[in-house]
Amino acid sequence: MLSPILSTLDARVLGLLSASLLVLLYAYSEHRSGLRKIPGPWLARISILFRFRLVWKGDAPLQYRRVHQQYGPIVRVGPKHVSIADPAMIPLIYGLGKNFTKTPFYTTMSLNYQGRRMDSMFTERDSQAHKALKSPVAQLFSMTNMRNFEVYADECTGIFMDAMRDLEGQAVDFAEWLQWYAFDVIGSITFQRRFGFMEKREDVDGMIGKINDGLEYVKLLGQVESLVRGFEFASRWKWLRRRLVPDTMERFLQITEHEVRKYDDSERRTARTDFLSQLRAKKEQSGKISPRDMVNHLSNNLLAGSDTTAIALRAIIYFIIRDARIHSKVVEEIQEADRLGKLSKAITFEECLNLTYLQAVIKEAMRVHPSVGFPLERYVPTGGAELCGYHLPAGTNVSISAPVVHMDRNIYGSDADDFRPERWLEASPEQLKLMDRSFLAFGHGSRTCIGKNISIMEMGKFVPQIFRHFEIELAEEDSEWHVHAAWFWKQSDLRVRLRARSNM
């Protein structure tokens, strides 16, 4: 008889307690954050759960666009987290000398080598340590050094084209093939090892699958800074680390060590121009690069340079073949250059830079579908910062996402949602400057992508070569690719059919 009354009371008390707790949490979080006036959903004010919601389903680029459409150019997306959609803020946050440091989100992507955390040029959060890593290798990524890498890209393009001739007329999943291509190219450029994805026509050693698994962990764990720190602390013990953190990168480190050893034992190493041999030459001259840094730089090339380039290549080809007008303009430009004798058998980097329409297509594809789909998170430095008319206290996690700013109609025009390469060719010099400054596909400022020249060279040579030799169409006219964002905004199922051009 008594129990229903008691349970009703219990429920009321429990309800009241929860409500009071929520109010207290809200008041405390508002008081502490200094972000009270910034618009955003109430859940984001008191809990990190809202950040999980943004990434959970793998559609973070769309979720971030949605919150900005609803709340405006500055939105509170977590208790101490602010997302910004105003491109004018890019130089203020990411610019040289601004001292906004990377957040622990990046630590989820650092490797563990010889029992210790190993931060790469990409994951390093400390600016001095970053500088020490970057200075000895920066020249290797320069535009002038690209000519040393072209030959490796050409070899892989040859293998790709032979395979496509073999598969002529069949439905081919370009999403897979382009990833295999990009992986083999970066392996060849880095240490002349083709992993053989294209020759074996499979995910060798499950390496791509392992990166994908690792990124799912990055996607979720990276949302909570304290959790990242906790995991990091616990990972000091090997036993715990094995249970907590998927060791997806062990294979990459083994391969890298093996390639360095093989290089050192080889007698014919002087003729090589790959990344490893250039790094070794530097070491011999200056002794600056330790064996650990060597493994660090080489393995990072593989991780930072494969998925990113594959995603951009998929986007470029997808947007070309889905639009007959754009498709024929791309092909006409290549054929015209060919007729005029402006293209070598293997198109060179220099030659592809003169294919102006193609260059606009590449840029537009990376604008509409940037390879990194997550916000680039930074901490506001000591003293705080004025952003979008608000004062953000030191320690606020602030970020801008490429998929959000790239859709800004004030910058890219009222048709910003559309894929229209001409916008890059028609813009006035001032407008073009603005469009370039708002382009975040390679990041910006002090931590901008150092591998940009490699990918521009690789994509710029590959795409015209493929369209020069093949007619490419979607295997099924109305088929759509699938996309999933876990840091990278990765596509799958891009099924195409190729036919070799008869005049080539």
Known binding site for heme: residues?
Answer: 449
Among 93, 398, 454, 496, which residue interacts with ligand HEM (rule: CB under 6 A)? Answer: 454
Size of the site for ligand HEM (CB under 6 A): 23
State the nearest-atom distance from the C-beta of 396 to ligand HEM, in Å.
17
- Do the Cβ atoms of 407 and 50 come closer than 8 Å? no
State the nearest-atom distance from the C-beta of 458 to ligand HEM, in Å.
7
Judging by DSSP bridges, how do beta strands 101-102 and 397-400 pair with one another?
Answer: unpaired
- Do the Cβ atoms of 500 and 469 come closer than 8 Å? yes
Site string for ligand HEM, 373-412 (x = CB under 6 A): ---x------------------------------------
Nearer to ligand HEM, 45 or 367 (CB): 367
Place of tokens 């250039």: 278
Instruction: Report CA Rg, the chain.
Output: 25
Tokens standing for residue 60: 């973070």
What is the Cα–Cα distance from 149 to 454, expressed in whole angstroms?
Answer: 8
Cα torsion 203, 208, 209, 214 to 10°: value is: 160
- E strand or H helix at 49: helix 49-55
Site string for ligand HEM, 104-123 (x = CB under 6 A): -----------------xx-
What is the Cα–Cα distance from 104 to 295, expressed in whole angstroms?
Answer: 22
Exposure of 313 by Cβ count < 10 A (0-12 exposed, 13-18 middle, 19+ buried)? buried
Applying CB under 6 A, does 45 fall inside the site for ligand HEM?
no
Nearer to ligand HEM, 75 or 121 (CB): 121
Q: What angle do CA 85, 87, 93 make, to 5 degrees?
A: 90
Applying CB under 6 A, does 442 fall inside the site for ligand HEM?
yes
What is the Cα–Cα distance from 86 to 411, expressed in whole angstroms?
Answer: 10
Phi, psi of 491 (to 5 degrees): -105, 150
Nearer to ligand HEM, 45 or 460 (CB): 460
Applying CB under 6 A, does 179 fall inside the site for ligand HEM?
no
Residue with nearest beta carbon to ligand HEM? 451
Applying CB under 6 A, does 29 fall inside the site for ligand HEM?
no
Tokens standing for residue 5: 């009354």
Applying CB under 6 A, does 443 fall inside the site for ligand HEM?
yes
Nearer to ligand HEM, 188 or 308 (CB): 308
Among 301, 359, 399, 465, which residue interacts with ligand HEM (rule: CB under 6 A)? Answer: 301
Nearer to ligand HEM, 33 or 188 (CB): 188
Residues at the interface with ligand HEM (CB under 6 A): 121-122, 134, 186, 300-301, 304-305, 308-309, 312, 371-372, 376, 441-443, 447, 449-451, 454-455
